[in-house]
């Protein structure tokens, strides 16, 4: 998160939305606009606040504090002041965010911190700091926050137990695992399953065919979008698909049906159909809903093209 930018803050009912970009985008979000397209999104449902040094700029309770057209607090209860916040947008939240903070966007992120109980602190330039505090003691509690990597379609959720993680593991994450990850991102229909590709070693550059596939499938330069990862063996994965590499010795859960890929040797020119067949086999092995269709491809293409237009690629 460091060196990225907070480009906008909005809300949907009582959930606050943080829009984060790789570039210092200067955008204007109308007060009644609930959606936008960013590189990353933070959806916060727990208690939170935004402060600038020792002054609280906005906080969780502001969503439930209605104001009139002149900006004065409405003392009496109204039908719009429900448990989900004032959906019409006339609250202290809008007044404080758009009246005090929005003129400073974008804000460079200087530090990101997460505690073992899900507390979040995002430190930004100009003395701004966003803080969130999960407070429920219920073991099977609802989602407190969700961080979304929009382009890679990765969701990080607190509490963490609510999401399954599928690791595609190969030698250096520059070629085959990248292609298979893109295919699975199209196919998988379940939002609580996160697909991650990584390498035993840290690769340097995406392969030529990955870049060509990006241009052919989506009309975009994946060098500006996809990231190369080295596997973090300290992380837990529900499913591991080792592709042409030995199965790592960790505590991950994996299924016998997908272990055949340990001895897989890539030809370097697998067709899209072959990749889809591998994706289908993986989805069926872990009991995941999937779909292979032009509609899925077009949906992914639109998502990436929105990103492309946003950065002017």
> Which CATH number fits the domain that encloses residue 180?
3.40.50.2300
Question: 245 with 211, same domain?
Answer: yes
| pLDDT band with cut points at 50, 70 and 90 for residue 301 | confident
pLDDT at 259 over 60: no
Instruction: Answer whether residue 108 is part of any domain.
Output: yes
Q: Which among 26, 31, 49 has a CA at the least distance from the CA of 99? A: 31
Contact predicate 262/200, CB 8 Å: no
Contact predicate 139/159, CB 8 Å: no
Point out which residues pair with 124 in neighbouring strands. Answer: 109
Question: 234 with 106, same domain?
Answer: no
In this prediction, residue 32 carries a pLDDT of 46
In this prediction, residue 79 carries a pLDDT of 43
Q: How many domains does the chain have?
A: 2
Instruction: Answer whether residue 193 is part of any domain.
Output: yes
Q: How many CB atoms lie under 10 A from the CB of residue 304?
A: 20
Instruction: Answer whether residue 71 is part of any domain.
Output: yes
Most confident by average pLDDT, 64-78, 85-99, 120-134, 273-287: 120-134
In this prediction, residue 120 carries a pLDDT of 96
Question: 292 with 176, same domain?
Answer: yes
Q: Which among 305, 124, 153 has a CA at the least distance from the CA of 224? A: 305
In this prediction, residue 81 carries a pLDDT of 46
How confident is the model over 176-181, as a mean pLDDT?
A: 94
Instruction: Answer whether residue 159 is part of any domain.
Output: no
154-158 sheet: strands from edge to edge? 55-59, 47-52, 128-133, 120-124, 107-114, 5-12, 15-21, 40-44, 145-149, 154-158
| pLDDT band with cut points at 50, 70 and 90 for residue 309 | low
| pLDDT band with cut points at 50, 70 and 90 for residue 34 | very low
Q: Which residue has the higher pLDDT, 141 or 308?
A: 141
Instruction: Answer whether residue 158 is part of any domain.
Output: no
Question: 127 with 222, same domain?
Answer: no
In this prediction, residue 80 carries a pLDDT of 44
Most confident by average pLDDT, 117-121, 286-290, 306-310: 117-121
Lowest mean pLDDT among 3-12, 37-46, 83-92, 295-304: 83-92
- Write down which residue in 120, 147, 174 finishes a domain: 147
Question: 133 with 266, same domain?
Answer: no
Question: 141 with 38, same domain?
Answer: yes
Question: 223 with 116, same domain?
Answer: no
Question: 215 with 141, same domain?
Answer: no
Contact predicate 90/66, CB 8 Å: yes
Q: What percent of the chain has pLDDT over 70?
A: 82
In whole numbers, what is the pLDDT of the chain averaged over residues? 82
Question: 292 with 188, same domain?
Answer: yes
| pLDDT band with cut points at 50, 70 and 90 for residue 140 | low
Q: Which residue has the higher pLDDT, 18 or 249?
A: 18
- What secondary structure letter does DSSP report for 98? I
Tokens of 69: 């057209």
Lowest mean pLDDT among 75-79, 188-192, 270-274: 75-79
- Who contacts 189 (Cβ-Cβ below 8 Å, separation ≥6)? 288, 289, 290, 291
Instruction: Answer whether residue 46 is part of any domain.
Output: yes
Lowest mean pLDDT among 67-81, 91-105, 147-161, 163-177: 67-81
| pLDDT band with cut points at 50, 70 and 90 for residue 89 | low
Q: What is the CA radius of gyration of the chain?
A: 22
Q: What angle do CA 154, 128, 43 make, to 5 degrees?
A: 30
Q: Count CA atoms closer than 13 A to 219's CA, side-chain side.
A: 13
- Write down which residue in 119, 147, 175 finishes a domain: 147
Q: What is the pTM of this model?
A: 0.56
> How far is 101 from 8, CA to CA, in rounded Å?
10
Q: Which residue has the higher pLDDT, 292 or 83?
A: 292
Question: 278 — phi, psi (to 5°)?
Answer: -65, -40
Domain that holds residue 172: 164-311
- What secondary structure letter does DSSP report for 256? G
Tokens of 59: 């906080």
Own/partner pairs, 154-163, CB within 8 angstroms, 24+ separation: 154/194, 154/195, 154/196, 155/191, 155/192, 155/194, 156/194, 157/192, 158/118, 158/134, 159/118, 159/134, 162/192, 163/192, 163/193, 163/194
């Amino acid at each position: 998160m460091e060196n990225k930018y907070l480009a906008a803050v909005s809300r949907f009912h009582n959930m606050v939305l943080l829009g984060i970009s790789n570039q210092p985008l200067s955008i204007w979000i109308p007060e009644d606009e609930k959606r936008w397209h960013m590189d990353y999104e933070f959806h916060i449902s727990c208690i939170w606040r935004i402060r600038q040094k020792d002054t609280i700029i906005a906080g969780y309770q502001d969503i439930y504090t209605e104001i009139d057209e002149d900006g004065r607090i409405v003392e009496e209860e109204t039908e719009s002041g429900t448990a989900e916040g004032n959906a019409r947008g006339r609250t202290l939240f809008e007044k404080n965010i758009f009246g005090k903070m929005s003129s400073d966007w974008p804000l460079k992120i200087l530090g990101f911190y997460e505690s073992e109980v899900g507390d979040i602190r995002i430190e930004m330039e100009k003395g701004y700091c966003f803080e969130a505090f999960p407070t429920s003691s219920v073991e099977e509690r609802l989602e407190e926050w969700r961080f979304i990597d929009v382009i890679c379609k990765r969701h990080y959720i607190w509490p963490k137990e609510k999401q399954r993680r599928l690791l595609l593991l190969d030698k250096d994450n520059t070629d085959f695992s990248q292609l298979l990850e893109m295919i699975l991102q199209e196919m998988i229909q379940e939002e609580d399953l996160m697909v991650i590709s990584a390498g035993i070693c840290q690769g340097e550059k995406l392969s030529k065919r990955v870049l060509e596939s990006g241009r052919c499938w989506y009309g975009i330069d994946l060098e500006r979008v996809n990231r190369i990862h080295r596997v973090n063996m300290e992380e837990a994965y529900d499913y591991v698909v080792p592709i042409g590499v030995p199965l790592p010795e960790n505590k991950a859960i994996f299924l016998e049906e997908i272990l055949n890929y340990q001895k897989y040797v890539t030809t370097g020119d697998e067709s899209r159909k072959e990749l889809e067949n591998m994706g289908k086999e993986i989805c069926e092995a872990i009991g995941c809903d999937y779909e292979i269709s032009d509609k899925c491809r077009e949906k992914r293409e639109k998502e990436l093209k929105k990103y492309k237009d946003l950065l002017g690629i």
